[in-house]
Amino acid sequence: MKSEEPGREFRSGYVAIIGRPNVGKSTLLNSILGEKISIVTPRPQTTRKRIIGIRTTPDSQIVFIDTPGIHRPHHTLGEYMVKEAKEALKDVDLVFFMVEPRHPGIADRLIIDLLRETAKDRPVMLLINKVDLVKKAELLPVIDEYQNLFPFEEIFPLSALNPDDVNLLLDRITRRLPVGPKYYPDDILTDQYERFVVAEIIREKAMTATEEEVPHSIAVEIVQWTEREDGMLFLDANIYVEREGQKGIIIGKGGIRLKEIGSAARVDIEKFLGRKIFMKLWVKVKEDWRSDKRVLRELGFQ
């Protein structure tokens, strides 16, 4: 396929982004796309499913796969998340292994072992994120240590929030991609359904608003999605938790916290959908849902 720019061939490919929880994988994907399609919170293990983000330019199309953070699972949902991350390494053209600017820990070394097993014939770039938080003298020993652990194609320090870093990274990726077809139309940013993204936005706001013991017990299900002729969208969503006490934390005194969650979510949802919405949120208890295979299937974790 020919590029829209004379004299250049069109390049395309798939790039998997893996790493420990909370190293900035979703932040990087959102920065690359210039649009928020993957939720971000300070809590580890926020991303639960593989999320595809598509960046198309006149001479390339890069399909990024954002994965759940690789960790030791403690329940069925955790096992699903780790499996999703491992599956993403199959049949990609390039792997990003993202870390923080510190010496590799046990989890980082486990991921490197995984790369040796599953990505031995694929190029792997090490992305050291959050370098704006450390001095260069602190970064160099970290680079040396990682170089001795794995034959990375390249080691790329960056801040996922810095547009200059992200643009330089994109330039490096494009050069490595094979000549290939356009897999998605130009105006597609993700293959996720609107309902999934809306549910994720609500979950993000609920996680951000709640206390330490609640966030990972939260799931969101869209139970009504009705579009009116004037363009207004009516939504009902259930927020599930595992304990009755967690329900009270989500709702807050006099329902104040639930109202705050709804208001914050509405702003992002309207921006994402490009239309006005009317939304009702309900909080319900599903005991130990993260270990219940039936409930996980109902919530879309196959």
> What CATH number should be reported for the domain holding residue 220?
3.30.300.20
Residues 168 and 215 grouped into a single domain: no
Quick one: pLDDT at residue 69?
Answer: 59
Residues 27 and 140 grouped into a single domain: yes
Quick one: pLDDT at residue 215?
Answer: 66
Put simply, whether the predicted model's pTM sits higher than 0.75 gets the answer: no
Which stretch, 145-149, 220-224, 229-233, 239-243, has highest mean pLDDT?
A: 145-149
Q: Indicate the average pLDDT of the chain.
A: 84
From 51, 57, 44, select the one nearest 16 (Cα to Cα): 51
Quick one: pLDDT at residue 77?
Answer: 60
Instruction: Identify the domain boundary among 122, 146, 176.
Output: 176
Query: Which is more confidently placed, 258 or 43?
Result: 258
Sequence-ordered list of residues with C-beta below 8 angstroms from that of 289, at least 6 positions apart, any chain: 217, 219, 240, 242, 295, 296, 299
Quick one: pLDDT at residue 90?
Answer: 73
Q: For the ranges 32-41, 55-64, 103-112, 172-181, which has the lowest average pLDDT?
A: 32-41
pLDDT band at 216 (very low <50, low <70, confident <90, very high): confident
Quick one: pLDDT at residue 99?
Answer: 95
Give the start-end residues of each E strand in 150-189. Answer: 154-157
Residues 199 and 262 grouped into a single domain: yes
pLDDT band at 116 (very low <50, low <70, confident <90, very high): confident
Judge whether residue 27 has pLDDT over 80. Answer: yes
Residues 258 and 209 grouped into a single domain: yes
From 217, 272, 297, 255, select the one nearest 39 (Cα to Cα): 272
Residues 136 and 15 grouped into a single domain: yes
Residues 143 and 271 grouped into a single domain: no
Instruction: Identify the domain boundary among 176, 209, 237.
Output: 176
Percentages (nearest 5) of helix, strand, coil residues in the chain: 40, 25, 35
CA 193 to chain centre: 15
48 within some domain? yes
Residues 39 and 154 grouped into a single domain: yes
> Domains in the chain: how many in total?
2
Residues 169 and 286 grouped into a single domain: no
- Residue range of the domain that includes 283: 194-298
* Residue 7 backbone class (left: φ over 0; alpha: ψ -120 to 50; beta: rest): left
Judge whether residue 289 has pLDDT over 90. Answer: no
Task: Read off the pLDDT of each residue in 222-233 and give the average, rounded to a whole number.
Answer: 88
Judge whether residue 13 has pLDDT over 90. Answer: yes
CA 23 to chain centre: 11
Instruction: Identify the domain boundary among 118, 147, 176.
Output: 176
Are 199 and 192 a contacting pair, CB within 8 Å? no
Sequence-ordered list of residues with C-beta below 8 angstroms from that of 6, at least 6 positions apart, any chain: none
